[in-house]
Amino acid sequence: MATDVNVKQLSVDMCERLLRDLEKARRPVFQATKCALDNCFYNPKVGYLTPGDKKVATELNVSSVQKMSRAIFMIELILRNLDVGATNTKRELYYISKGEIKHNPALRPLDFDDQDESDAIVDFICEMMECYREDLNCFANDRGGQTYSQQLMVMETMPDGTKATIDLSKLGTAPFQPKNRPQSLKLKAKKKIDFCLIVESEGTANTLVNSGFTKRHPVILLGAQGVPSNAVRGWTKLIQDELDVPCYFFGDLDAYTMQNIFRTLKAGSAASLIRNADFSAPEVKFLGVLPEDIKKYDLPDYAVRENDAVESRALKKARDALQNDPFFKDKKNKGVSDILRWLLQHKRRCEQQAFFSVNPRDPLMPEKIIIEKIKNKNFV
Amino acid sequence: MATDVNVKQLSVDMCERLLRDLEKARRPVFQATKCALDNCFYNPKVGYLTPGDKKVATELNVSSVQKMSRAIFMIELILRNLDVGATNTKRELYYISKGEIKHNPALRPLDFDDQDESDAIVDFICEMMECYREDLNCFANDRGGQTYSQQLMVMETMPDGTKATIDLSKLGTAPFQPKNRPQSLKLKAKKKIDFCLIVESEGTANTLVNSGFTKRHPVILLGAQGVPSNAVRGWTKLIQDELDVPCYFFGDLDAYTMQNIFRTLKAGSAASLIRNADFSAPEVKFLGVLPEDIKKYDLPDYAVRENDAVESRALKKARDALQNDPFFKDKKNKGVSDILRWLLQHKRRCEQQAFFSVNPRDPLMPEKIIIEKIKNKNFV
Amino acid sequence: MAKTQSITSASSAEYFSKNLQQVGFSSYTKAALTTLKEAVDNSLDACEEAGLLPEISVTIEKIGEGTAKNSDSIKIRIEDNGPGLEVEDIVKVFGEYLASSKFGRGRCSRGQQGIGISAVTTWAQLTSARGASVITKTEKMRKACQCVVEVDIKHNKGVLKSKEVIDWDRDHGLTCEFIIDARIQLQGEGGLLAYLSGTTLVNPHLTLRYKILEQDWVEVARVTDTIPEIPEATDPHPHTMKLGEFIAHSHLFGRVTIGAWLKKGFSRISDGVLTDLKKAGLKQSLLDTSVDTITEENFKNVFSALQKVNLMAPSTKSVLSIGETAMAKSIQRIGQVDFFAVVSRKPTICDFKPVLVEVAIARLIDRDMPEDGAVTLLRFANRVPLQFDKSACAMTKAAESVNWRSYGLNQPKDSLPLGPYIVAVSVVSPFIKFKNASKETVDASDELVEEIRRTLIQAGQRLSKHIRRESKEADLEKKRQHIEMFAPILVDGACRITRSPKNRRERALEGLAKLLGRDAALAEKELKVAIEHAEEAVMKMEQMTGILPEPPVVEEKPKKKGKG
Amino acid sequence: MAKTQSITSASSAEYFSKNLQQVGFSSYTKAALTTLKEAVDNSLDACEEAGLLPEISVTIEKIGEGTAKNSDSIKIRIEDNGPGLEVEDIVKVFGEYLASSKFGRGRCSRGQQGIGISAVTTWAQLTSARGASVITKTEKMRKACQCVVEVDIKHNKGVLKSKEVIDWDRDHGLTCEFIIDARIQLQGEGGLLAYLSGTTLVNPHLTLRYKILEQDWVEVARVTDTIPEIPEATDPHPHTMKLGEFIAHSHLFGRVTIGAWLKKGFSRISDGVLTDLKKAGLKQSLLDTSVDTITEENFKNVFSALQKVNLMAPSTKSVLSIGETAMAKSIQRIGQVDFFAVVSRKPTICDFKPVLVEVAIARLIDRDMPEDGAVTLLRFANRVPLQFDKSACAMTKAAESVNWRSYGLNQPKDSLPLGPYIVAVSVVSPFIKFKNASKETVDASDELVEEIRRTLIQAGQRLSKHIRRESKEADLEKKRQHIEMFAPILVDGACRITRSPKNRRERALEGLAKLLGRDAALAEKELKVAIEHAEEAVMKMEQMTGILPEPPVVEEKPKKKGKG
């Protein structure tokens, strides 16, 4: 399912082109897709943000020769890792490069003063190869995606060919934690699964599981832990594609959640334009908190603090998004952009945990509301 | 093994005392153990920080009556949760209390203006009952402790009496994630386990696992993800106690790691004085980076930036610790305090990933160094 | 290589008329303020000299456009009940620079050098072609004399014009009127009202009436009948002199011996000092030489020897005090005062000069002063308000250096404290060192700043008693509310948790009410102590001042539910 | 109620001797600087008046302890080759306040009012009991005259003492010597050296020798033989006058008609203006009235009408320019100059006064100036260095308002730019408005700040050509290094990844060298253009100045490996 990037082949191709150009004393130029809002397109049939034709070109010249040399050097290190299946964090790559240079004084001009410099080169390689750092076997910390279900089975084929099958109902209270490359997993439902619920707050996901949500309902429940990591994004897409179950996102009603969390989960982001295909789940619905829920459930909400830098930036970004973001401009997502408009107009926000105030004596009230909202198609 | 706190009984006792005193028009006074460095003791035989006799008294008077009323109110909510086995996050408790007050106008004077206020009451209850918030069924996000092993089996008895047995070798690449109350788990080794390695950086723990560390060695490997959470602390203690395997901590050589991460893991902290017994693993050794490793392995190290607020604060704290902290003052921990002294003297720091620079062409080099260091008892 | 120019002498009047911006005429708004200020200061000085209680009346009118662009033609008239001036003196005072009864006399009068009012006349002359219009009547004069005085700038002489004898219904007094190009600014630190209210504050014996532009007449009545007694200047102190002054001083004494001259002509030189001088190597024969015969070299020797011996500090008798009593009364004239504190320090020596610092702090009720704005700092030098260039002034620096937080005021770091307070600082000295000729900033020497700072600290301590009393009251009120609100909630909760019966709830509630009642009683007692303290302070003040500020009423809130 | 005090008149000398702190004697270090400055300024003015090329010699010695505590006794001696003074003039110049050949003449001389040197005499008298020792010889005098002058403070008259006729081996000149209590500060913005080097900078025609304390004699030779021609003052402009001055001006003209007086007595009043006045309602009959018969009221009418008509701005003829040529030469005397830019603006009108601004900026080689310190800003008013209170000065404000970053200098926000630069700003005007009597700060009016700012911007633009050339050179060097360093690394890496044979590596390296060589060639071309620009600027400068700064040598680094 996941489009695998052949980093090795890309590297060889790139170096081939480089050398060919050099042999002819032609100036090599590397082009990469421009990952920015002005190169974003949204096709409602596809459902995620796709790149346009705009390219960012890096020309080899006196100014860029250091950066290019560093990139080639780093690619060598990465290819070595890919060859043997080794993985590293960015910081480890930094130290590996330090060690390499220490042992080879001819490379001294490449030396990195600090990790920021080597991180920038890793990012540059990703841009040129149009891939994620995970494709380079360079992994970030796992974050989010802890998953609970009584029905879900995960099958993994290990590098050595052995297979692992994990029955999520057999993990006790422990969650299943998808790793940074969930695309390599296969999923199976032991019984029919009604839906998948992605909860913005990991703590609230825990609360729902502890109170028996996944016992009472044949569902998959996972915590996003804020802005979804690549793991969470890929994992959600996998669930959507492999199991064909409806996915609902349960989060705060505020501009930040709508744009940075929900939009990214559903349609990807401008920064990750090149790989949104593999890292977005266009069928995810926004379950709430919806503006109408405030009145309906008499939820405590708050005025946006306009002198709070983060909140006011999110509002400003929301105004921009309604004008320029192809996702919010498309009428397919009118429901979501209507919420943005409501937020801009009313300048109120409401947290997902507000549902806990509806009937404080009934710990299952939030669960009941969620089920009721899904039943009534009370989502967008 | 874990000393369970009976919150219900403690609450009733507390209220009984309160009412008894009030009936006699006596002023109720609540005492709690003072959790601060000046009430810390260290008994090398016990191995963790224990509380002295100092108490913090809260007297019911006009100034404290609001706080006490809020606490009693919050205790009621918590007892309700404990009764039915419901759990909540702090934020959910805030909304539950908002809902409760909304439905009962007589409680209006208790209303919280924001979550900070209700969080403070939860903390106050923990102080008075000398327990952790987890004992109140109020959970923090899971953080850290992702564990890998080919030998480890985890047995859990669920609230409904059913049992779960998790074989960590059967989870594919996924880790086992211990939850916030790991004390309720039972452990078993399928085969003899050589040691448990706690890695400060979760990313590097991943790298080691990916490169086959746990395949080649019968060990338990877990990532601490910075300052260890209660889950990581309890989980490490559980491994130490149940399996009787040596535990090694692999982290950065700097003042912050020594004091805030390693010391907390091994002997607890002053803030958590009351429950260090259940949340520290006194047998954990500091494997490195040791000062002598820098020379031995020619590791890239850095000068401490004394104009960096965090780093200079850590150094200042280290100076204090050598003078006042009973853990560092005890000669049993001379190895660790020698490192602090070295750090203060040389003002250098070295990150654990520096081992990746030793032989950058051998991805297994860090693993080999770890094994070698353990074999040579090259730890403190 | 021709030498073309000959040296000509200019008069002081030429100098000052070319440099009017240095003496208060750097803008049209300042021109109005300076005119008012110089005339009023002169009236006050004259009344004090003559031992009269001043009554001053001010009218300021706009009579048209000014002759210069962007200016108005303004008529300023100041009338006093002072001793009046003889006509020949009028000409000097208003028409001649450096003509003064006060020049260099070492007294704490407002004016010193005889520049101010002549500069006003010059400004009027330059901008409206008409000098000072004056009416004067002394006790000796049967009728009043009305005239116009102008400055003959070339010769620094006053010129008398249109002299007329007129009837005037008062025994003595002086009126002067100027038509000048100016602009009126009423509000703000540099405004006319700040000058007038500042002047009344530090002149409790002044009755002031004024009418400015279209506004109604305002009268501020005097609050004391005591006329400040201006002490006489004392003999010079050798450590405050330069060698040249020392020698010049000898010329006043004719044929006396050095020893006699030293004892007679200086303060703080006694026989003991002469002995010290001899110990330091000065010969008896030199002390016995007559001052009119000794050589310059020997003057130098005596002077140097004197600089090296220890002398008592100069006398502080020559400084004048407003006094705590008078200040306390006067500050009530500024507005509705909630409470206040005044401190009058003893005269002291700073930088070898006698100086006296007094401070009044008042909290105003209902004035348009925001809680979070800086206090209004009023500065006075020899009882004249200083309204410009405050940042470098010794008084400002001292006020910023005090830790007002410890007296219950808010204060940003190194700044003035905040709140609806007036902080008035008055420095009186026969030798105030100004940073410039327009006399707006007192030089911030370390010694002077420290003396002002100490005065402010004392005032702050007195003030804090009032502030403490206020916060106690707020505290008691809060405690009462707490009892009413939380007692039932707390007990009910505990009863539910313990499943206690109803009667237990009643008993616990009663006990709690008693307990918290005790707290409230305690608070009430604390309040009482605080009130006593504050009252003591007020009584002490009253003994000094004879007036008592209204004590704020402590309202008893009726208890609502009978159970608290 | 007795009127006790009579009015007495004080002399200007009394006033100033009481207020010496206002005219440059507020501390012992300033006393030394002021003494030096007043004497040198007078010498320069005298030479200019007489059309002589000034040669001034300064000696400063410490001769012992001062008479006052914490001071030294300092002898300051200034000798010039000026026209000398007649003895009767000596007495006035050194012994009388406000006696001057320049008072109010509306010319750009350094001294203006005749206060400075008399204040020095007073200070000497007060602190050492000895006034000014002067030697003078005019061309007419056969022998020189040596004497001591003191100030009779009571009467503001010079007093001549110990007059002697002596031989002096020069045709004419003047020497004055003062013994004063003072302290010597050589370095820093307020130091004596800053005054001396500043003075030479803006007086290219001055030859200065000085010996200070134990240091060796220093000689700074003149760089031009052109004596600045001091333009005569022009007739007054009606818009720069006040009504009173206007009326007073009429008295100089006797019996002429108003119309004739206006045309004759003022600049910028032509027949056309008279027509405009009539259009504005002034009657022909009034214009035909004689000035000595019209009423004050009519004076006002004429004056007001004049204020309302449009007049040409005042003439700028009366301002004097140092000139770009002379400045360019003079700035080389400050130290080893790397490159520089000078701008001399045309005279213009600010606040109705003619003013001329000139700027010189130089980068110094090897001076102890850190790269990251602020530039040294030198301020001059009528060619006198201003050394104190710089922050409020118009020149400082203007320099801070320029965006120096666009000319290649570093600059913190709203501050002076950084680097080893001297930025000299000279303002020349017959009517410089100082903020205070000690003449250290030029009042920052919007118009003046803007004029100075424009001059600085022009100078910055000229300077930037040099700076751009430098940065291009650094750039080229960096590019060369890059080629040498990275080419093999890059190609080797790509070859390893593609497993390419060795000969391919060679070909690629050659291609890369060509490519990057092209970049370097491009950079070299850019450098060439930049050098041409800079050279053009230098040539232009040369045409103006006749001197050419050494161009920095562009070193060709030998290529190391034959392939780059």
Residue D318 in this model has a pLDDT that exceeds 80 = no
How confident is the model at residue D49, as a pLDDT?
86
3-class SS at D135?
strand
Examine the domain organization and report whether D406 and D481 are in the same domain.
Answer: no
Which position has the token pair 């003022």? D266
Which residues on adjacent β-strands are paired with residue B165?
A: B155
Examine the domain organization and report whether B129 and B201 are in the same domain.
Answer: no
Residue D4 in this model has a pLDDT that exceeds 60 = no
Examine the domain organization and report whether B131 and B229 are in the same domain.
Answer: no
Q: Residues C293-305: pLDDT tens digits? A: 888 888 888 888 8
How confident is the model at residue D298, as a pLDDT?
86
D478–chain A nearest CA distance, Å: 9
- Angle between helices B7-23 and B115-129 in degrees, nearest 10: 90
Examine the domain organization and report whether D409 and D357 are in the same domain.
Answer: yes
What average pLDDT score do residues A191-207 get? Answer: 94
Whether residue C56 is contained in a domain is answered as yes
Q: Do chains D and C touch (3 or more CB pairs under 8 A)?
A: yes
D554–chain A nearest CA distance, Å: 20
How confident is the model at residue C543, as a pLDDT?
52
- Report the CATH number at residue C256: 1.10.8.50
Whether residue B156 is contained in a domain is answered as no
Q: Residues C385-431: pLDDT tens digits? A: 898 878 778 999 999 999 998 888 888 888 899 888 889 999 988 88
CA distance A7 to A13: 10
How confident is the model at residue D362, as a pLDDT?
87
Examine the domain organization and report whether C520 and C377 are in the same domain.
Answer: no
Domain end, chosen from A136, A154, A184, is at: A136
- D245 at the C interface (CB within 8 A)? yes
Most D CBs within 10 A among C28, C53, C98, C149, hence the mutation to make, goes to: C98
How confident is the model at residue D167, as a pLDDT?
92
How confident is the model at residue C564, as a pLDDT?
31
CA distance A314 to A227: 14
Examine the domain organization and report whether C354 and C368 are in the same domain.
Answer: yes
Cis check: omega of the bond before D357, within 30 degrees of 0: no
CA distance B267 to B279: 8
The torsion region of residue B377 among left (phi > 0), alpha (psi -120 to 50) and beta comes to left
How confident is the model at residue D531, as a pLDDT?
63
What average pLDDT score do residues C210-219 get? Answer: 93
D12–chain C nearest CA distance, Å: 6
Search chain A and give the residue with CA nearest B99: A357
Whether residue D553 is contained in a domain is answered as no
Whether residue C4 is contained in a domain is answered as no
Query: D92: closest CA among D152, D51, D50?
Result: D152
What's the whole-number average pLDDT of chain D?
83
Instruction: Measure CB to CB from residue D498 to each of A12, A24, A106 and give the nearest one.
Output: A12
Task: Say yes or no for a CB contact (<8 Å) between D129 and C103.
Answer: no
Higher-confidence residue: D404 or C267? Answer: D404
Instruction: Using only the alpha carbons of chain C, give its radius of gyration.
Output: 31
What average pLDDT score do residues D112-129 get? Answer: 86
Examine the domain organization and report whether D334 and D434 are in the same domain.
Answer: yes
Search chain D and give the residue with CA nearest A70: D490
How confident is the model at residue C129, as a pLDDT?
87
Locate all alpha helices (DSSP H) within chain A, ordered by sequence.
Answer: 7-23, 65-84, 90-103, 115-129, 202-210, 213-216, 230-243, 255-256, 263-267, 291-297, 309-324, 326-329, 334-346, 365-375
Task: Say yes or no for a CB contact (<8 Å) between D52 and C1.
Answer: yes
Examine the domain organization and report whether A123 and A19 are in the same domain.
Answer: yes
Task: Say yes or no for a CB contact (<8 Å) between D242 and C126.
Answer: yes
How confident is the model at residue D106, as a pLDDT?
57
Residue C432 in this model has a pLDDT that exceeds 50 = yes
Whether residue D215 is contained in a domain is answered as yes
Task: Say yes or no for a CB contact (<8 Å) between B62 and C479.
Answer: yes
CA distance B139 to B127: 16
Whether residue C563 is contained in a domain is answered as no
Residue C537 in this model has a pLDDT that exceeds 60 = no
Which residues on adjacent β-strands are paired with residue A157?
A: A163
Q: Render the burial of C327-356: b for 16+ CB within 10 Å, e for the rest.
A: bbbbbbbbbebbbbbbbbbebbbbeebbbb
Whether residue D18 is contained in a domain is answered as yes
Name every residue whose Cβ is closer than 8 Å to that of residue C14 and which is 6 or more positions away in sequence.
C153, C154, C156, D98, D103, D104
- Report the CATH number at residue D360: 3.30.230.10
How confident is the model at residue C551, as a pLDDT?
41
Asked whether D17 and C63 are in contact (CB, 8 A), the reply is: no
How confident is the model at residue C4, as a pLDDT?
45
- C42 at the D interface (CB within 8 A)? no
Q: Is residue D562 very low, low, confident or very high in pLDDT (cuts 50, 70, 90)?
A: very low
Q: How many domains does chain B have?
A: 2
Whether residue A183 is contained in a domain is answered as no
Nearest 5°: the CA angle B54, B58, B63 is 145
CA distance D313 to D326: 28
Examine the domain organization and report whether C291 and C188 are in the same domain.
Answer: no
Examine the domain organization and report whether A118 and A244 are in the same domain.
Answer: no
Examine the domain organization and report whether D390 and D405 are in the same domain.
Answer: yes
Name every residue whose Cβ is closer than 8 Å to that of residue D181 and which is 6 or more positions away in sequence.
C242, D28, D31, D66, D67, D68, D71, D72, D73, D74, D123, D127, D128
Whether residue A346 is contained in a domain is answered as yes
Instruction: Measure CB to CB from residue A19 to each of D495, D514, D520 and give the nearest one.
Output: D495
Range of B286's domain?
195-375
Residue D549 in this model has a pLDDT that exceeds 50 = no
Q: Residues B1-36: pLDDT tens digits? A: 345 678 999 999 999 999 999 999 888 998 888 888
Q: Is residue C512 very low, low, confident or very high in pLDDT (cuts 50, 70, 90)?
A: confident
Name every residue whose Cβ is closer than 8 Å to that of residue D252 and which is 6 or more positions away in sequence.
D265
Instruction: Using only the alpha carbons of chain B, give its radius of gyration.
Output: 23
Higher-confidence residue: C536 or C153? Answer: C153
Higher-confidence residue: C496 or B5? Answer: C496
Examine the domain organization and report whether C286 and C187 are in the same domain.
Answer: no
- B161 at the A interface (CB within 8 A)? no
B53–chain A nearest CA distance, Å: 36
Q: Which residues of chain B are within 8 Å of residue C482 when distances are taken between CB atoms?
A: 62, 65-66
Length of chain D: 564
DSSP state of C187: S
What average pLDDT score do residues A16-21 get? Answer: 93
Question: Which stretch of B206-220, C293-307, D104-118 has the lowest confidence by average pLDDT?
Answer: D104-118
Residue D548 in this model has a pLDDT that exceeds 80 = no
Whether residue A143 is contained in a domain is answered as no
How confident is the model at residue D3, as a pLDDT?
41
What average pLDDT score do residues D195-199 get? Answer: 89
Q: Do chains B and C touch (3 or more CB pairs under 8 A)?
A: yes
Q: Residues C86-142: pLDDT tens digits? A: 988 888 889 888 877 765 555 667 766 778 899 999 999 988 888 999 999 999 999
Name every residue whose Cβ is closer than 8 Å to that of residue B308 and which is 6 or more positions away in sequence.
none
How confident is the model at residue C558, as a pLDDT?
38
Q: Is residue B337 very low, low, confident or very high in pLDDT (cuts 50, 70, 90)?
A: very high
Whether residue C317 is contained in a domain is answered as no
Instruction: Measure CB to CB from residue D300 to each of C67, C98, C436 and give the nearest one.
Output: C67
How confident is the model at residue C523, as a pLDDT?
64
CA distance B261 to B255: 10
Both structure tokens of A190: 């032991």
Examine the domain organization and report whether C137 and C276 are in the same domain.
Answer: no
How confident is the model at residue D422, as a pLDDT?
87
Whether residue B141 is contained in a domain is answered as no
Q: Residues C9-55: pLDDT tens digits? A: 788 888 888 888 778 888 899 999 999 999 999 999 889 888 899 99
Q: How many domains does chain C have?
A: 4
Instruction: Measure CB to CB from residue B66 to each of C486, C508, C514 and give the nearest one.
Output: C486
Query: D477: closest CA among D562, D557, D409?
Result: D557
- Report the CATH number at residue B41: 1.10.10.10
B11–chain C nearest CA distance, Å: 7
Q: Residues B351-370: pLDDT tens digits? A: 999 999 999 889 899 999 99
What's the whole-number average pLDDT of chain B?
90
D516–chain A nearest CA distance, Å: 6
How confident is the model at residue C560, as a pLDDT?
38
Q: Which residues of chain C are within 8 Å of residue D89 when distances are taken between CB atoms?
A: 6-7
D494–chain A nearest CA distance, Å: 5
Examine the domain organization and report whether D181 and D249 are in the same domain.
Answer: no
Examine the domain organization and report whether B22 and B90 are in the same domain.
Answer: yes
Examine the domain organization and report whether D483 and D451 are in the same domain.
Answer: no
Examine the domain organization and report whether D461 and D473 are in the same domain.
Answer: no
Domain end, chosen from A68, A101, A136, is at: A136
How confident is the model at residue A217, as a pLDDT?
96
Neighboring chains of C (3 or more beta-carbon pairs < 8 A):
B, D
Question: Which stretch of A332-346, B114-128, C98-112, D386-400 has the lowest confidence by average pLDDT?
Answer: C98-112
- C3 at the D interface (CB within 8 A)? yes
Whether residue A168 is contained in a domain is answered as no
How confident is the model at residue D66, as a pLDDT?
86
Instruction: Measure CB to CB from residue D490 to each of A26, A69, A106 and give the nearest one.
Output: A69
Whether residue B99 is contained in a domain is answered as yes
What's the whole-number average pLDDT of chain A?
91
3-class SS at B67?
helix
Residue C554 in this model has a pLDDT that exceeds 70 = no
Task: Say yes or no for a CB contact (<8 Å) between A22 and D520.
Answer: no
Task: Say yes or no for a CB contact (<8 Å) between D113 and C18.
Answer: yes
Task: Say yes or no for a CB contact (<8 Å) between C89 and D14.
Answer: no
Instruction: Measure CB to CB from residue D10 to each of C114, C243, C436 and give the nearest one.
Output: C114
What average pLDDT score do residues D531-544 get? Answer: 59
Q: Is residue C548 very low, low, confident or very high in pLDDT (cuts 50, 70, 90)?
A: very low
Report which residue type is found at D268: R
Q: Residues B217-262: pLDDT tens digits? A: 999 999 998 889 888 999 999 999 999 999 999 999 999 999 999 9
Whether residue D491 is contained in a domain is answered as yes
How confident is the model at residue C308, as a pLDDT?
83
A77–chain D nearest CA distance, Å: 10
- Report the CATH number at residue D144: 3.30.565.10
Q: Residues D127-156: pLDDT tens digits? A: 888 899 999 999 999 999 999 999 988 888
In order, the DSSP letters of D379-444 are EEETTEEE-S-GGGSHHHHHHHHS-GGGGT----TTS--BSSEEEEEEEE-TT--BSSTT---B--
B99–chain C nearest CA distance, Å: 17
Q: Specify the pairing of strand D207-212 against strand D55-65.
A: parallel
Q: Is residue D526 very low, low, confident or very high in pLDDT (cuts 50, 70, 90)?
A: low
Q: Residues A255-281: pLDDT tens digits? A: 999 999 999 999 999 888 888 988 899
Candidate ranges A109-118, A223-232, B190-199; pick with highest mean pLDDT: B190-199
What average pLDDT score do residues D193-210 get? Answer: 91
Nearest 5°: the CA angle A321, A324, A325 is 60
Domain end, chosen from D260, D279, D308, is at: D308
Task: Say yes or no for a CB contact (<8 Å) between A360 and B77.
Answer: yes
Percent of chain C with pLDDT over 70: 88
How confident is the model at residue C145, as a pLDDT?
94
How confident is the model at residue C106, as a pLDDT?
57
How confident is the model at residue C559, as a pLDDT?
36
Which residues on adjacent β-strands are paired with residue B138?
A: B88
Examine the domain organization and report whether A101 and A225 are in the same domain.
Answer: no
CA distance C301 to A144: 92
Task: Say yes or no for a CB contact (<8 Å) between A174 and B156.
Answer: yes
What average pLDDT score do residues C432-448 get? Answer: 80
Q: Is residue D564 very low, low, confident or very high in pLDDT (cuts 50, 70, 90)?
A: very low
CA distance D553 to D551: 6
Q: Specify the pairing of strand C353-364 against strand C337-344.
A: antiparallel
Task: Say yes or no for a CB contact (<8 Å) between D19 and C243.
Answer: no
Question: Which stretch of A353-367, B90-104, C237-251 has the lowest confidence by average pLDDT?
Answer: C237-251
Q: Do chains C and A touch (3 or more CB pairs under 8 A)?
A: no
Q: Is residue C495 very low, low, confident or very high in pLDDT (cuts 50, 70, 90)?
A: very high
Which CB contacts under 8 angstroms, 24+ apart, belong to C531-538?
C531/C469, C531/C472, C533/C465, C533/C468, C533/C469, C534/C339, C534/C465, C534/C466, C534/C468, C534/C469, C537/C341, C537/C462, C537/C465, C537/C466
CA distance B81 to C327: 67
- Angle between helices A7-23 and D446-498 in degrees, nearest 10: 100
Other residues' Cβ atoms within 10 Å of the Cβ of residue D317: 12
Residue D555 in this model has a pLDDT that exceeds 60 = no
Task: Say yes or no for a CB contact (<8 Å) between C489 and B110.
Answer: yes
Range of D109's domain?
12-220
Q: Which residues of chain C are within 8 Å of residue D83 when distances are taken between CB atoms?
A: 1, 3
Residue C287 in this model has a pLDDT that exceeds 80 = yes
Whether residue B354 is contained in a domain is answered as yes
How confident is the model at residue D391, as a pLDDT?
79
| Residues 341-380, chain B, touching A (beta carbon < 8 A) | 351, 353-361, 363
Q: Residues D29-73: pLDDT tens digits? A: 999 999 999 999 999 988 988 889 999 999 999 999 888 878 899
Examine the domain organization and report whether A354 and A222 are in the same domain.
Answer: yes
Residue C231 in this model has a pLDDT that exceeds 80 = no
ipTM strictly over 0.95?
A: no
Examine the domain organization and report whether A126 and A203 are in the same domain.
Answer: no
